[in-house]
Amino acid sequence: MKVLSQNTTFGGMQGVFSHESEACKGEMTFAVFVPPQAINEPRPVLWYLSGLTCTHANVMEKGEYRRMAAELGLIVVCPDTSPRGTDVPDELTNWQMGKGAGFYLDATETPWAEHYQMYSYITEELPAFVSQHFRMDMSRQGIFGHSMGGHGAMTIALKNPGRFKSCSAFAPIVEPSTADWSIGAFEKYLGADRAAWRQYDACALVKDGARFPGFLIDQGKADSFLENGLRPWLFEEAVKGTGIDLTLRMHERYDHSYYFISTFMDDHLRWHAERLI
């Protein structure tokens, strides 16, 4: 593990690190906040997945999570959103595809399949790696994210209910298999057979029988992507009669930015702490 930076903050440590990833066939960067309580005992782990065009740095610099995470004693891990490097396929003029747009799935199509294995990276390789270096209680894990990362958090939770005890999302893409800004990426990563897309679609997973105890979703009503990309009401409809508890909060005047995310970050951290601590 390479240490790229380490800073003391709120009595804990905010670090940025990198390592060689077998899943993504290259160097991957991630951030970890370790609260002061971890000096004495292993602490619960909260995974934050960022959205399209982002890296680990967006939430680390603008998410304003450290004060509350330190108070609650939560370790927060912020992975990158895709593989990086000069040999990694990309579409330079398409922000919805390639670098910064991994969609937290395992690509099966050429040329993407060699590097774009973000589902395996997030669920298998990175947890196994970071747990060797930090005092984490891996029996208490939660996951949350924003936009594409909200999609990733929800699908990963639904597919791994025995691992994660909590899940929440800011403005998630709840049905990427039908959303304008994800259909193109799904077809390139996974092929034309839409049946293969369902394993990475929260609404489809629920319809196909996947279950998770509950979700918290915050969505801004002034979000320019609400009608064509996010559409949280589709997930609200999907979970009816399933026993899945959904808290969906729609907020006047809030948009898709980190001004919105940082406003409700404390609520999400408390939501996870209630289920992890």
| pLDDT level of residue 262 (50, 70, 90 thresholds) | very high
How confident is the model at residue 125, as a pLDDT?
A: 98
pLDDT at position 66, please? 98
What is the C-alpha R_g of the chain? 17
Residues with a catalytic annotation lie at 147, 223, 256
**pLDDT tens readout for residues 133-146:** 999 999 999 999 99
Q: Is residue 276 a contact partner of residue 44, using CB atoms and an 8 Å limit?
A: yes
Reduced to 3 states (helix: H, G, I; strand: E, B; else coil), residue 84 is coil
Q: What pTM, to 2 d.p., does this model score? A: 0.98
**What average pLDDT does the segment 23-29 reach?**
98
204 falls in which pLDDT band (50, 70, 90)?
A: very high
pLDDT at 191 over 90: yes
Question: Is the pLDDT at 181 greater than 90, yes or no?
Answer: no
Specify burial of residue 180 (Cβ count, 10 A radius: 0-12, 13-18, 19+): exposed
Query: Is pLDDT at 95 greater than 90 in this prediction?
Result: yes
CB 198 within 8 A of CB 205: yes
Instruction: State CA 178 to chain mean position distance.
Output: 20
Q: What is the mean pLDDT of residues 261-268?
A: 98
**Predicted local distance difference test score (pLDDT) of residue 110:** 98
Dihedral (CA of 196, 98, 226, 263) sign? positive
44-59 CB burial, b ≥16 within 10 A, e <16: bbbbbbbbbebbbebb
Residue 86 Cα distances to 3, 27, 30, 100, angstroms: 22, 11, 18, 14
Query: Counting runs of H as helices and runs of E as strands, what totals does the chain give?
Result: 9, 9
Identify whether 111 is preceded by a cis peptide bond (ω within 30 of 0): yes
Handedness of CA 222, 58, 63, 101 (dihedral sign): positive
pLDDT, tens digit (0-9, with 9 covering 90-100), for 109-156: 999 999 999 999 999 999 999 999 999 999 999 999 999 999 999 999
Alpha-carbon distance 132 to 124, whole Å?
13
